[in-house]
Structure 1
Amino acid sequence: MDSMEMYVSSLPPQRAAVFARLAAGASELAAQKPDIRDFVFVPGYAHPTWDDGQSVLWRAIEQMMLGSPAGDDELPVIWVGYDVATRFTNKREAQGFLVTDRRLIVKDDVDLVFSKGEARQYPLAVATTGVADTARAITSEAIDGYDWNGAGSLVDEEDVEWFRELLVAAITMTLDAVANTGTPIAAAPTTASDIRGRVKELGLSPAVKYADDKTHAKHFAKFAKKMPLDADEQILACFSASTLAGPYGLMLTDRRLRSRDLGEAPVTTQRSVIEPAAVRVNPANESQIVVAPGDVHDVPSHLSAREVGALVTLIQDWADGRVG
């Protein structure tokens, strides 16, 4: 399939009718936000600025939705985003927020030579507080966790607020429209209980290293000299880097949280003493995570603010026993 038209023609008539309704609603919402019209794309509707808008949108749908679809008949509703061209792969990659009838897909990183940028997703599951509050909560989590550095000068602070308003409206419209078709709305999703699944859900795959990955064998051998483990202690996930001065970073094991900053002695905290609700980014240093009174761990400075926030969530889940 190489176009939106072909995708729609492959849908059952009932789903095609739902798609037409959602796209029409999205078009009306887009028209109410002229300040960010350059960033807003609706399937089946000509873009007010870009003649190739539908081709650009289809590329975003292919990259963000079809690579890992939520069902064979998932319906794209609206994309609020932009393309970037990477100097490593020299291809255009979609960034931003894609609303479908089942989830909000967010992508703010790009493919590199040895790693692939991964999208995050927020299922459109209605909370007990209702549709409007659900839409606001999903949007806030996505917007507040977005790494805007990649957008450069394209998006300013005022644009971000317009993005927020449009996404809330689009998600609300989508949830209402889907409910009115009689299609069951998803129940609140459960998160992965294994460490690797949770790392992927949190968008941390590009930053993680696993001890059983042979490509990182030398890295972990050097780490073992600087930060030795207990007998039989198992590394679950490691967020680290290395320089001529040696390796540094943070790792979760089956029993401890361990970290080492360059030129500093290792810091370790037993898993059992970490209070999940107390884990947070250090207000005085965004490259540090506080896990208990007096226990502060450094994280590599190359991690983005979003990744550090996701790492806080991972540590909370790990400390609480929800992943292991």
Structure 2
Amino acid sequence: MLELNRLTHSSEHVNITDPKALASPPIPLCEDKFYAKLPCYDFVWSGNQSRRVSDIVSAIMANNPGRPIPTNKVWFLLWPEEVDAWFTSHPLHAPGALHFTERNATMISYGVQTNSSSAPKRGQTEDPTFKFIVPLQIAAEREIARFLIGDPKFCWSFGFKEFAQPAVAKDVTISPLNLMGPVFFLAFSMFSFALQLGFLATEKELKLCQAMTVMGVYDTAYWLSWLIWDGILTFVSSLFLVLFGMMFQFDFFLKNSFFVIFLLFLLFHLAFMLSSFISKSSSATTVGFLVFLIVFITQTVATGGFP
């Protein structure tokens, strides 16, 4: 419960007013993917065994900024359909593919195929578009342009920016409070609830109240003693629960009214009403467990997003 909250970082969850340009990024290692199976390949390509396309791919590998790509990190197939079948039979082995088509002496077209999706890991979200697809696109355009104009040193530099946008998705918080907090608070409240229910049912079964009445003690004295003792215990335990939640900076306690949360836990502890319907102490445990089970199921369904 004392771990720090970890946020899943993604551009969908934040306001982007002035995105930074991604200029000429290199094709990354396939091992840099959050999830990859070995042996993996930096990219796959198809080109119908065209010699000119092979030269372009060789230039992409040799001119990758900061890291030439070795031949054993690239996989070749003849047709895009074969690439689709290979991706299906080899999941997580390559982040994407380049498909080249030599249309005539002055036109070579290409397409970029992604084999990755947005993936969260350790509080971060991997963006396959800017991490893998954009580098492949820039590399293909650069080497096709150099090949067609006949200048292998032709300067080709572009920057890509994400569109400025408001946050379009709800931020996802992964924290111990979100995962175990509801169950913990329910168990905390049910502990004293079940104890009070059992004590009241036991005294009712033993007819202590009637015995005190026969001895001349008013019913108000009996119930007042219960209210004072259990009221103090309930008040103190509820107060400490809320104060510790605020001390550990849990949003549930910081962003909601102190009085409302305190009153919620305070009223939950009061089991006097249910005790009126229980005549035996043996039934108190069953009723307490039944209440816990009903609330737990309702809580699980509600936190799961239904209805």
TM-score range, shorter chain: under 0.3
| TM-score with structure 2 setting the length | 0.21
| TM-score with structure 1 setting the length | 0.21
Q: Quick check: which one's strand share is greater?
A: 1
Q: Quick check: which one's helix share is greater?
A: 2
Higher relative contact order (CA 8 A, sep 6+): 2
